[in-house]
Structure 1
Amino acid sequence: MIERFEDKTEWGDRIGWIYGSVTEDVVTGYRMHNRGWRSVYCITKRDAFRGTAPINLTDRLHQVLRWATGSVEIFYSRNNPILASPRLKFLQRIAYFNVGVYPFTSIFLVVYCFIPAFCLFTGQFIVQNLNVFFLSYLLLITVTLVLISLLEVKWSGIALEELWRNEQFWLIGGTSAHFAAVIQGLLKVIAGVEISFTLTSKSAAEDEDDIYADLYVVKWTSLFILPLTIMVVNIMALVIGISRTIYSVIPQWNRLFGGVFFSFWVLSHLYPFAKGLMGRKGRVSTIIYIWSGLIAITVSLLWITLQNNVEGGGNFTI
């Protein structure tokens, strides 16, 4: 029998590398800072550690799900920075709070992705009345976000293209893995259902001669459902919105352009997701076709039903 050095000690529970968490590195750092310890970055000329990372869409989303699940666990545990001791500094508290709360922003992100489609379906723009105060506020927020992005680019030394790729995957991960992690966390807290996730598969390619073979491996996962639904609904909304405006007696082009702009903005973020679903040589899994068809049929039936209620003088109002 091999006895480990941490046996019969508090290592892994109160000191050292903390076990029992999906994101044990965050919990370990939090416990250290919560006790008043100081930490510094140690950057060596030669890499201290190296590892492998998933490169295909399925495994990447499962990895993001694992990280987001760990963040939700931290938010609902005694490691929540709101409950921290006074030794934890204010900026540290904000940083750790951001780590625990960021998956919950996916709720608002999902709503945002469906709003442009709703505008195109109904023919109503998201904002009914524009005033100087609202436009000034919107301009201020937009300029602030652009300046923050430029500051990040300058600080990290990355190209604008890489920043855009990161923005795209932020939306893809937010509408899939982050949203799933929030649901799993709520189920565990409210109903006592244990959180489960799929461990990252680091190699699943059959062609060992191609170093990029893993990139084209696409395995169906339930994480695809929500972003695929957002993509199909927005595409159908574009078709319906444009068709209705063209054949309308009094076309409302200004409302159409507003909805089309934001809908294209959502679809442009989901372009890598659509490309990743195709895999090698554009081969799409059958279940993706089936799910897309079901979404299209459901949306079409809902649209026809709502139109009949409106034209028939029903009580339905928008």
Structure 2
Amino acid sequence: MMVVSTVLSVMAYDYPPEKLAVYLSDDGGSELTFYALTQAAIFSKHWLPYCRNYKIEPRSPVAYFKSASRPSNTKHDQDYTNIKKLFEEMEDRIENVMNNGRVPDELRLEHEGFTEWDSFTSPKDHAAVVQILLDQNEDAEGHSLPKLVYLAREKRPDHFHNFKAGAMNALIRISSKISNGPIILNVDCDMYSNNSDTVRDALCFFMDEEKGHEIAFVQYPQCFENVTKNEVYGGSMRVLREVDFHGLDGNGGPLYVGTGCFHRRDILLGKSFDGESRIDWKMENDHKETQENTTEELKNLASCTYEIDTEWGKEMGLKYGCPVEDVITGLSIHCRGWKSVFYNPKREAFLGVSATTLDQTLVQHKRWSEGDLLILLSKYSPAWYGLGKVTSGWFLPFAYIIVSITAFDYLEFLRCGGTTKGWWNDRRIWVYKRTSSYLFALIDTILGSDLSFVISSKVMDNDVQARYEKEMMEFGVSSPLTTTVATISMLNLVCFVGVVMKSMLMDKVTRGGYYETMAVHVVLCGVLVALNMPLYWALFVRKDKGKIPDSVTVKAVFHALFISTVFFFL
């Protein structure tokens, strides 16, 4: 239903529907997802007229029915009741099929596309599936509907598929034959459209008479609807969204962050800036072919072998070989002379789901940092591409830097709408990411390990949801990342307790000299212990399923005591 609502939200943009084409990339090739999309196509014939007639926001059905109150107008209230009933019936049909685990034979007869799964092997071994569900169709009031296309590119065990970048490149090729629009919007399945004017807003930048020809992409911020008041996992990207990305407009523009981004198609295909490059908005698209002639062509474009001995993933499309394919693609576009724009409207353009457990947060940042390290070593590295070197030998004292940066960071966080507790939680996650996610990413990068694209789960059960809403940190999995965080936190506690006990055994004069030389160390260790209080609570007090597993507790305590003992004797 998350996928269905995201699809419907972008189909319902306040923009001529005959100029819109929506493509769903289902990299798992699931007949269940295809069934859900067929139901979305049917429901769209009623949903789009309702959105158009009553100018509702947001246009994601799940989000709308969750937040909207019953209309006071009698006609609107009746239509609201009818559309909500249709939505709930669709939801029940999809959930019944999901619970069944397969699409029943009688439902498979409803669409010829289900025959594609007759020879389906597995999510990692299957032929390409391309199905056009809506094309020149009309809604319940006789207005045009956007095109709606389902794609599952071919997957074979002996062909590396290049993760999200490979899926995006297949979409670029497929869409060039079906709609060939000059502008491409890329949205993740969990980032629904929250503002129906977003397309028009983005086009204002591309169509600007003075600067539009310089712009390669327009990036909207990632905003999340499920972030708690005090941001227990520091997942709001608040300062990045409100400060940092705005500042990048003075340096060629923001990074491409993988979702909520409008691209010029020709630039994604490798075009370099020449000062005269403008979009021909009146160009005639060459996709007016009969579907009978293009079905096999489309499947060929999504095959495993199509990209062999081509420039796809190198000079064309999204870049391969990096876990953060979006960032390196955006940097390569900037390196070809193009600029980008960051637009952060008052009403969020897209709303998504942030990580709801510590493990999800750490795994996600491990992947991001692996990619960032690879970019640092690449030819697109900001460390040397187009930048000078620092020549001044004068630096402010370290203490001044720490205090001033921390104070500035705190004030910046508050200015962007955060809370003091939210900033404190953000500092905790900052420490955890740098002592686990970034550490493991560095090790994997140095050792040249096989970098896998790990997808963070956005689905949680009721217990996890309840704890998340109470801002209780979720530790309930055993992994190298959580074990590392727990071990370092225990080491901080052991060291702090050891310092306090040692000072208590000293006479007054000796204690004064001890604290004089160790003051900074003691304060830093005390701050770390204070930051880690939720973790200690999860180690030794909590009894719910979100506590730190006993196996992790044993490892953390043993490792901390062992390390402390070794250094004590050294």
* TM-score (structure 2 length as normaliser): 0.39
How has the CA–CA distance of structure 1 residues 216 and 234 changed in structure 2, closer, same or farther, with 3 Å as cutoff? closer
Q: Kindly tell me: are residues 197 and 81 of structure 1, through their superposed partners in 2, closer, same or farther at Cα, counting changes over 3 Å? A: same
Structure 2 residue 168 is the aligned partner of structure 1 residue 4 = no
Q: Counterpart in 1 of 2:530? A: 268
The sequence identity of aligned pairs, in percent, is 25
Equivalent position to 2:514, from 238, 248, 255: 255
Amino acid at match of 2:367: R
**How far apart, in 2, do the equivalents of 1:209 and 1:223 lie?**
22
Per the alignment, residue 131 of structure 1 pairs with none
* Higher Cα radius of gyration: 2
Q: Which has the higher helix share?
A: 1
User: Residue in 2 aligned with 1:314?
Assistant: none
1:222 aligns with 2:523: no
Displacement of 1:219 in angstroms is 0.6
Task: Compute the RMSD of aligned alpha carbons.
Answer: 3.7
Residue 299 of structure 1: CA displacement? 4.0
Question: Which blocks of at least 5 consecutive residues in structure 1 are unaligned?
Answer: 95-133, 307-318
Shift, 1:200, TM fit: 1.6
Q: Secondary structure at the match of 1:81?
A: coil
Residue 223 of structure 1: how far off its partner (Å): 0.8
State which of 340, 343, 352 in structure 2 corresponds to 1:51.
Answer: 352
Out of 175, 183, 189, the residue aligned to residue 443 of structure 2 is 183
1:169 to 392, 404, 429: 429
Query: For residues 208 and 262 of structure 1, do their structure 2 counterparts lie closer, same or farther at Cα, with a shift above 3 Å needed?
Result: closer
Number of aligned positions between the proteins: 257
Structure having the larger proportion of residues in strand: 2
**Residue 13 to residue 4, structure 1, CA distance change in 2 (3 Å):** farther
Whether 2:335 is the aligned partner of 1:34: answer yes
User: Which of 479, 495, 512 is equivalent to 1:237?
Assistant: 495
Contact 1:56 1:276 in 2 (8 A): no
SS at the partner of 1:4? helix
Is 2:540 the counterpart of 1:292? no
CA change 1:178–1:279 in 2 (3 A) is: farther
- 5 Å-filtered alignment, 1:14-93, equals 14-44=315-345, 46-82=347-383, 84=385, 86=386, 90=387
Greater relative contact order, per chain length (Cα 8 Å cut-off, separation 6+) = 1
Deviation at 1:196, TM superposition (A): 4.1
**Inter-partner Cα distance in structure 2 for 1:187 and 1:61:** 20
Distance in 2 separating the partners of 1:217 and 1:300:
25
Cα distance between partner residues in 2 of 1:201 and 1:245: 47
The aligned amino acid for 2:558 is: L
Deviation of residue 265 (structure 1)? Answer: 1.2
Structure 2 distance, partners of 1:156, 1:267, is 27
Letter matched to residue 264 of structure 1: G
Partner in structure 2 of residue 97 of structure 1: none
Unmatched tracts of structure 2, length 5 or more: 1-127, 131-172, 177-300
Q: Decide whether aligned partners of structure 1 residues 69 and 273 sit closer, same or farther in structure 2, where only a CA change above 3 A counts.
A: farther
> CA–CA distance in 2 between the matches of 1:215 and 1:209?
11
1:90-101 equivalence runs, <5 A? 90=387
Separation (CA, whole Å) in 1 of partners of 2:528 and 2:438? 17
CA contact (8 A) 2:323 2:452 kept: no
**CA positional deviation for 1:167:** 1.6
Alpha-carbon spacing, 1:151–1:237, altered in 2? closer, same or farther (3 Å): closer
